[in-house]
Structure 1
């Protein structure tokens, strides 16, 4: 029986031999791709803040905004499931395998065959799902937010936003395919297009339609997300080396995987994505009986607090196709090297952002939202929630980065889905207890607790996966990053309290947090930060070997190096005056460098007489 490319990519087909050459882009390429992605993502996030400012000024934080935000649950859920998590985790490895087979000279072209066998089915299934949501909106809204005052308005908005199920699925498909090809410009621009659609609709239709205009803008923005990527994807499919014809397995006699097997391989990824996004559903459900505006406060606080996490994960988004291509070619060591380095760097970035958010939350909310119908009371409530959300940012980043190690190779891994299901249960249980006495801050605290627990469990289980990260070295590196972040938070809090105007306070806080974090991280020998500074100031990084255990990590501290340097020099002088017949050329392992965690020190070679 002929084999389809979907089965080739998703049904556990044996990997190419380790000798196959994987796609290994240069560090300069990855740095440029990460900067491009981060820049466009930051621009999209800035437009998102302008969008939220526009919504806050036009509609405030009342019952109408709450109704729209309940309807916005559909595109938020769809974005995570179909763009950021499930679609990417499924299709990037699939396209990576197809590209590896194309590089081996497989004919007909496996990439075009994969598109032909999966895209029509995806579009048909998502069209049916969108239609079902439109029809089920009157029953869905009471389930999402029981006791909502404006149920009728929420139903109208939900019917408009339900179209995003189809448009987001197509946008996520294009993004995964382009990233696997090493093309990051168009996928990074999708949220620019999305927010442009919403802002345009609110400006043009808001006076007559109210919050329904925002829902119509969500639908229009979803269509724009697809349109900005289609030309680039078509160009990749028409590129030299991609030949049409037949099915993916026109010369492959291995046979097609059973549909149930394919579904079993996809189910863990889907279950993980659904469980992760269910935290938003739990929050909206718990906040619905609270006083009017609670859902809005949670929404605004979460949108701002998660910006550092989104920016930090851009590095992992760029490197995920590299990891997947390395796994497709059997290069486990290269995949592990890249994943460990990017994980710690993403955590360093998010810790700086979290420290800034905690230190200057009132000033940030006042600067962004306090105008029009959004008053000082809304600012105080949103800032309190935002500070608590920021406590879970490190956990959010760890979950987003670690799950790529579990799903870089297509195989049924239920552990991440089980962990996230337990995390949602913890969030729901803690939220039920804390929402009564503490309100919206209690719900935010439950979210931070659940996601931090999930991050710890994923880190414990990652050592035995296909990308076997070292749990102990990574955990040790995180500990050495958290201490400087705590010092930076205290310094930023002091600066924010001394400045009255919000804009200077935010800028001064960010500068103080960054400076204190970098200085204290270098002083305590934290990973990745010294290498980041050397790269920023153009200093070449020396080739150095890491400590082999947790005890030798002490010598990476500059203070310890200062103390032991005289002893090293004394030993070198004694060695220089030793008899030549017993003297050998030693291998001195420098300390204090920023190095990959999996590299082992070389054994010394004896000088040949």
Structure 2
């Protein structure tokens, strides 16, 4: 699907820039108190962004907007956009103001372990006052992006996150030297990024004639429907984000650096998740919503099956590669400046644990829209609560023997429970109907992944050897392994008859 390639390409650019950003942050801050403080101060509004803006709001707004675009005239669409933009702004402005006033208490809530160090707590609270307005700005950006996606303008929203990475890189390089507390520069970078991302999308809405005049109207029928759908959706597709936040809370109680180790490992998992999983989910939600509005059940089922196949095609080998190459990838990206050998080993432990759940994280991005597109947000909330409770229990079981890696493994296992239940319920309702050829497809994917894993294990130098070489050789080795692994995998698929045409969704 062309739109999927566009989103994947733009998201790939954003994720690569995100890795460059994390390399810069690791170089200057490593995994010390300043890094821990920033990661928590950024994680709180970023978590709420994923929960509200890209999670509950997006999953509730897109189906309603798709219905309006299919069945209503342009005046009614503009009235909906004005009411939603105004109501969203009013609600989030109030939340932002309260959060800035209550910053120290929020830190106590989200990172209780920081309370043992008053200086670290105060620094994190100061950063949060700068980073929290990002929630308002990025939620309005997500609103704009949802409108553009519905009108098939996928490239602009997919490119927008690049501004966050550029802003943080610029803050690290140019603001850090000017500040008494270097980590505070990154908090300013987050705020600047929020303004830049929203400003970038406004002209494109204007060209479509869909730039809203925000006016709060909670009585508007569309707004009431969105709010009704949002309430249960908070625990739907965003459950994995809640689980990651629980990891941060518990990690703050562990050894210093645990929050940063989880962050760096999560960032590597986010690369394939964002490029493939989020991209497919971004494309599939408005498409499924339109199929539902057109009452085309057969096309709806085929599109879900296509999404699952695409996720597995890319997710299975990506997860295996992260397991095999955990230390080499972390060394290549982050082992500079303040980042120590011990930090690499600790981050590799949690990276392997997160990688176990990569396929499940990606499947949730495809399966949850199967409910949201039909304006069913109640079923995912029930599944989400089950998964979240399972994650909490697994956290308490695994944190003792595995420390921070146990938290990552608990998140991965609960994601499989979440994805499995979503898939089972869609299949039981005959919304998800598996198309012919799954047996052969499994042989192709599993065989290719096994060969790829064996090739990477045999070809990769011992991870200790990566510590003794410079950046250029590390990058050369890493790129060589990527080419080798991809070549072996896709050569196997081609030898067994798999071709690009097999992944074109039928209209």
TM (norm. structure 2) is: 0.89
Separation in 1, partners of 2:105, 2:276? 38
Q: Is 1:225–2:208 an aligned residue pair?
A: no
Q: Secondary structure at the match of 2:235?
A: helix
Q: Is 1:424–2:392 an aligned residue pair?
A: no
Q: Is 1:531–2:496 an aligned residue pair?
A: no
Q: Choose the corresponding residue for 2:269, options 281, 302, 305.
A: 305
2:365 corresponding residue in structure 1: 400
1:604 corresponding residue in structure 2: none
Q: 1:114 to 1:520 in 2, by over 3 A?
A: same
1:507 corresponding residue in structure 2: 479
Q: CA deviation at 1:86?
A: 2.1
Q: 1:478 to 1:216 in 2, by over 3 A?
A: farther
Q: Is the 8 A contact 2:305 2:435 kept in 1?
A: no
2:107 corresponding residue in structure 1: 141
Q: 1:373 to 1:261 in 2, by over 3 A?
A: closer
Q: How does 1:126-525 map to 2 (within 5 A)?
A: 126-148=92-114, 149=117, 150-207=120-177, 208=179, 209-237=181-209, 263-313=227-277, 314-411=279-376, 413-465=377-429, 468-470=431-433, 479-480=442-443, 481-497=445-461, 501-521=473-493
Q: 1:390 to 1:276 in 2, by over 3 A?
A: closer
User: Quick one: higher RCO (CA 8 Å, sep 6+), 1 or 2?
Assistant: 2
2:19 corresponding residue in structure 1: 49
Count of residues in correspondence between the two structures: 488
Separation in 2, partners of 1:259, 1:312? 31
Q: CA deviation at 1:127?
A: 0.5
Q: Is the 8 A contact 2:57 2:226 kept in 1?
A: no
Q: Is the 8 A contact 2:284 2:366 kept in 1?
A: no
Q: Is the 8 A contact 1:157 1:215 kept in 2?
A: yes
Range moving further from structure 2, 152-161 or 332-341: 332-341
1:121 corresponding residue in structure 2: 87
Q: Secondary structure at the match of 1:229?
A: helix
1:110 corresponding residue in structure 2: 76
In structure 2, runs of 5+ residues without a counterpart are: 467-472
Q: 1:371 to 1:262 in 2, by over 3 A?
A: closer
Structure with bigger helix share is 2
Q: Secondary structure at the match of 1:228?
A: helix
TM (norm. structure 1) is: 0.75
Q: Is the 8 A contact 2:80 2:222 kept in 1?
A: no
In structure 1, runs of 5+ residues without a counterpart are: 1-29, 249-254, 536-540, 542-593, 600-609
Q: CA deviation at 1:490?
A: 2.4
Higher alpha-carbon Rg: 1
Q: CA deviation at 1:471?
A: 5.5
CA deviation profile, 1:101-135 (whole Å, cap 9, x unmatched):
24xxx3x6222121122111111001011111111
Separation in 2, partners of 1:236, 1:477? 45
Separation in 2, partners of 1:154, 1:222? 19
Q: Say what the alpha-carbon RMSD is for the aligned residues.
A: 2.8
Q: Secondary structure at the match of 2:161?
A: helix
Q: CA deviation at 1:257?
A: 5.1
Q: Is the 8 A contact 1:301 1:386 kept in 2?
A: yes
Q: CA deviation at 1:85?
A: 2.3
